[in-house]
Amino acid sequence: MARRSPPDYEYYPFFFLGILCSLIGIITNSSNNAYSVSAMSSVSKGASAAAANAASSTYRGALIFLHGLGDTPGGWMSLEQQLPRLQPRLDARDVKYVFPAAPTIPITINGGVSMPGWFDLYDWPIGVGSKDDRVGLMEGVDQIRAEVDRLQTEDGIPPNKIVVGGFSQGGAVALLSCYHQNQEGGGAKKFAGCAGLSAWLTLPKEVAESTEDGKEDPRKEIPLFWGHGTYDDKVLFEQQQFGIEKLSNEFGLDFNLITSTQYPIGHQSCEQETKDLAEFVDRALFGDDDDDDDDDDDDSTDAGKDAKADL
């Protein structure tokens, strides 16, 4: 509504003031009602859009993969080509690949120098009992939640068709994004799977206490893949056994949902781990149905990240 110039009140101040107050009341009520209708309409349209996207989505699933300390999304984007060569159902036309970027923050073990990192690190190497940066970790979890919400609203991919994974620091955030989720029980999501490569379970006490025995919790139904190098001198190999035991014995994750693999390497990934990861993601998203002839055992694939050793 166009604004009008105020009338001249010089001769009839009280008469015109009464009319003005009445008009203001009418306009205010009208504006409030219009705002309420508009707000309700926006919410309704948002919900309808999400439902429409889900119905028309061309994707059958998604993989969110987080890089390690000092790295960038580009360090792992080759998974988008590697995984489909190993498991054809993971083709990028059917599976959406998302590689979030960590913020640039000061890292204590790096003398306070800033670098890409999901959270701060205080101890080196990272063994069982290392100090955790809870604030940074929860910010990482919130960032992944935002990615999940975006996949659901924009691409129509529900959480139970999303695998969340990562390497080292990224793997630590992936574990929390699935088994902690920065909330207790109610409202938790069941993801298709969680994958941690050379990862470690941070905030283990919180994770274990965030659920109750005998209580249904979708987080306890998320399959886990955990690969680790037996010679890892950065995130010590002991972290794998500690994390798995904590999740299975205290958190309540069914041991049958856990795939743990070990490789004779340091803090890095390798070709065999990439093959194992591809098999896990394929099974997590599509089950054991063999609608594709998966006889692709070509050893000439260049999958693997033997040179990747970021934290």
Residues identified as active-site: 168, 232, 267
- 192 touches 285 (CB < 8 A): yes
From the CB of residue 190, how many other CB atoms can be counted at a distance below 10 Å? 15
